[in-house]
Chain A
Amino acid sequence: MKHLIESQFDKLRPLFEEGGKLNWAWPLFEGQETLFLTPKHKTKAGAHVRDRMDMKRLMIFVLYALAPALLFAFYNVGYQGFLAEGVANPSFAQAVPRGALAMLPIIITSYAAGGIAELVFCVVRKHEINEGFLVTAMLFPLTLPPTIPLWMVAVGIIFGVVIGKEVFGGVGMNILNPALTARAFVFFTYPAAISGAGVWDVGGKDLLSSGPVTDGYTGATPLLAASSGAPGSDAVKLITEAGWSYQDLALGLIPGSAGEVSSVAAALGAIFLVVTGIASWRIIVSCIVGLLAMAAVLNGFAGPESVSMMTLPPHYHLVMGGFAFGAVFMATDPCSSAVTPTGRLIYGFFIGVLCVLVRVVNPAYPEGMMLAILFMNVFAPLIDYFVVKQTTKRRQARMAAAA
């Protein structure tokens, strides 16, 4: 099997190599070959032996970490669709195909449209395919509502890949997380398709629909429900009245962006990423600390005249909206986060703080994680700048004091 594949690639290689007819498509060939076979080229300079780990393996492991969130998205999208139509307890076998039917076109569109953008850049700029795209194109659909029109998915991912990443020089050079850049683009350009109450379920809209949406079903997300109460009302009461328990919120059996609803799925991904050493535990932990701290502070200021979100307890903030998913998969993007260990603690902490601030203080957006991360992406180099300055000073002082 291996030898068969190897010989096929060896046969085709001269066509794509320097001087071959299809030399312009070398990144395409190289991408295909390394998809099947690990590269065979030898070390020429530097250390003679190298570790087996490479960027492809790193990125595929992020995809593995996304598996729980993806599978849960399939289930919950179907589940919420039936719920909207008044089917009380849809079975697993009913829900998953329906969710898959809604999600797969979005995911395929994301990979296809983004992939073409990525390939064009590879061919024009003559670099190998950046496998970071595999992650970007999977993260993006999971942050979208399942009812999003496919053309918006295509436009969004192309914007994310080109403006979020390629114009800076590809993976490793980007300042913003490309998947979040794509989402922010869709969020601000087509707000009606990605915010409000009506977009979070596929009820009454798709092929597997069991009937029209029942009267009185609002389709609001818990965050929207918690923020739309009268001043002074209790946020937890609003959520309970809407029919959700804390367990529902944590498990993710709620309307919301397809992959972001389940904090449990995100936690599973977090464990996998931290154990394999791919994501920084510092960022995840400091995000949580920042969120809990800021929420607790705002709780302290809640009064009879304040908005209902002020009263939302810290542990509710933790499991609502896209916080868990963002903290695990978006904030930890090593390219757009701070790099220094201390910098990562500061960076994560302020993501948590800003997330709560946007949710509570800004009346326009019930969810703040996307904006918090993008904002801190921009500040990450500045944080690093100060940490690096500090480290340099410490090293020089140590050198001067020694001996």
Chain B
Amino acid sequence: MPDHALRKGLDIPIAGQASGEPVQLDPPSTVAYSPTEFRGLTPRLDVREGDTVERGAPLFHAKASPEIKFLSPVTGRVKEVRRGRRRVITDLVVEVTDATAAGVQFEAVDLNDADAIRRALQQRGQWAAFRTRPLNNIPSADSTPQAILVSATETGPLMPGPDVLIGEADKEHLTRGLAALAKLGPVHFAVPKGSALASAAGSAQTHTFSGPHPAGDPQVQVNLVCPPKGDGEVWYCKAWDVVEMGKVLAGGSFPNERVYAAVGAGVAQPRFVKAILGSPLADVVGSAKGEQLRWIRGSVLTGQAVDADRWVSHFKRAVHVLPDEVESELFGWALPMFGLWSFHKTFLKSFLGPGGPVDMRPGVYGGERAIVPIGVYAKVMVSPDILPEFLFKSIVANDLEEAIQLGLLDMTEEEAALCTYICPSKVEFDELLKKGIEMYEKEA
């Protein structure tokens, strides 16, 4: 069992950790999908406003591969198709009419039939849990991966981990899911060091990971375990999504319950909840505190800020509510600032440790400058042999060929976000990475 003990990286000590047993929520009045959260997906609707849908019936499919379907989590009525700029569908809202209906019944799938497994995962709404390296798209319906990395680790700030998301009863589904995936390609299973989950691996190659963020990020793990070779692609997904795959392969109703975490200093009582897939953010969070708040689907590093009246993400199992007010400090640049913590060793608390969770605000805390390379980025880079200063300079210079040479396709989103977090020049490396990848897609 290969062990990856990583030392570099950073656990951001942000306040608002959820605790306790998951709270069972009442059924919501509406649920919704945001097709925009699936990178590279163009949705084609299977329903119209006002249509009634059954739990487990398709709402929309991928334009490029009609087999890849997205299913309604509940029996209800299509209430609204919200559109954003250029008429992109931002939310497909379903009003819940019968929260307990069993809906469409799936048959059990033969776990020795690779085609049947592939078809079932696509048609039963599980395919979008896979993402490809290097581009992080949903794999096309007929593609074959060089390897599949299933990650049961999570190190993102305040993101819920396997201990919360994978219950005792889920283990058999996990094992079934992993066995099914093994028919699609060689499976690598990443677990936290010392975790009992390793016993669920079956025939998959198990890897243990430990260390600060981004040690638990599957993109980083792909780089360390099974980087894509040549023009091929490697898939990755989270182990808790494989649990859902295991469930649909066993048959029965569409599994529509998920555990979400409501975290951050803007949540009155940070907690875990058991809720219907696609529940409203407000249901999951319960009561928020403060006037000005930023609602984030996912973590503060790579999550997406959305309006408070929207719905939870399908695959990011956390909602972070961040107080959205920034105070300025008098002469903050020159004083010791005893109360503040920083990754850089220029504050007293950088040496002593943060001394507990830090109430962070979305301030930039500085003017944007050219990169002054004092060598800090390397301290959060886990992927081997990538020099962030050079990679990002080549992206700024629109030099695609150079950027690819320097590891544009190997750079991960979490590492870029960490570089952004610690950058004293306040350069947004994660935005530059997106720009670089877009540049690559346009050329290819």
Residues of A near any B CB (own CB < 8 A): 1-2, 5-6, 30, 34, 36-43, 45-58, 60-61, 128, 130, 132, 169-173, 275-280, 334-335, 339-341, 384, 388, 391-392, 394-395, 398-400, 402-403
Q: How far is the CB of A382 from chain B (nearest CB, A)?
A: 14
B374→A49 contact, CB < 8 A = no
Interface status of B329 (Cβ within 8 A of chain A): yes
Q: How far is the CB of B412 from chain A (nearest CB, A)?
A: 14
Supposing A51-B422, A275-B345 touch, asked if A42 and B326 sit within 8 A by C-beta, the answer is: yes
B410→A399 contact, CB < 8 A = yes
Q: How far is the CB of A43 from chain B (nearest CB, A)?
A: 5
Supposing A54-B426, A128-B367, A341-B375 touch, asked if A49 and B328 sit within 8 A by C-beta, the answer is: no
Q: How far is the CB of A328 from chain B (nearest CB, A)?
A: 14
In the complex, the chain A residue whose C-beta lies closest to that of B327 is: A40
A335→B372 contact, CB < 8 A = yes
What are 10 A-B residue pairs whose CB atoms fall within 8 Å in the complex? Answer: A36-B331, A38-B329, A38-B363, A40-B363, A48-B294, A50-B365, A130-B369, A171-B369, A341-B375, A341-B378
Interface status of B66 (Cβ within 8 A of chain A): no
Q: Which residues of A lie under 8 Å from residue B296 when comparing CB positions?
A: 48
Number of interface residues of B (CB under 8 A): 78
A49→B421 contact, CB < 8 A = yes
Q: Which residues of B lie under 8 Å from residue A339 when comparing CB positions?
A: 373, 375, 387, 389-390
B370→A49 contact, CB < 8 A = no
Given the complex of chains A and B, what is the CA–CA distance between A399 and B301 in angstroms? Answer: 27
Interface status of B384 (Cβ within 8 A of chain A): yes
B300→A48 contact, CB < 8 A = yes
Given the complex of chains A and B, what is the CA–CA distance between A50 and B427 in angstroms? Answer: 11
B362→A172 contact, CB < 8 A = no
Select B365's contact among A51, A275, A279, A391, beta carbons within 8 Å. A51
Interface residues of chain B: helix, strand, loop or mixed (majority): loop
B378→A42 contact, CB < 8 A = no
Supposing A36-B330, A49-B360 touch, asked if A388 and B387 sit within 8 A by C-beta, the answer is: yes
Chain B residues 338-354 with CB under 8 Å of chain A are 340-347
B370→A173 contact, CB < 8 A = yes
In the complex, the chain A residue whose C-beta lies closest to that of B393 is: A339
B206-237 CB mask vs A (1 if < 8 Å, else 0) is 00000000000000000001111100000000
Supposing A39-B364, A394-B385 touch, asked if A54 and B424 sit within 8 A by C-beta, the answer is: yes
Q: Which residues of A lie under 8 Å from residue B372 when comparing CB positions?
A: 55, 58, 132, 171-172, 334-335
Q: Which residues of A lie under 8 Å from residue B428 when comparing CB positions?
A: 45-47
Q: Which residues of A lie under 8 Å from residue B371 when comparing CB positions?
A: 172
Interface status of B431 (Cβ within 8 A of chain A): yes
Chain B residues 287-345 with CB under 8 Å of chain A are 294, 296, 300-303, 305, 320, 322, 324, 326-334, 337, 340-345
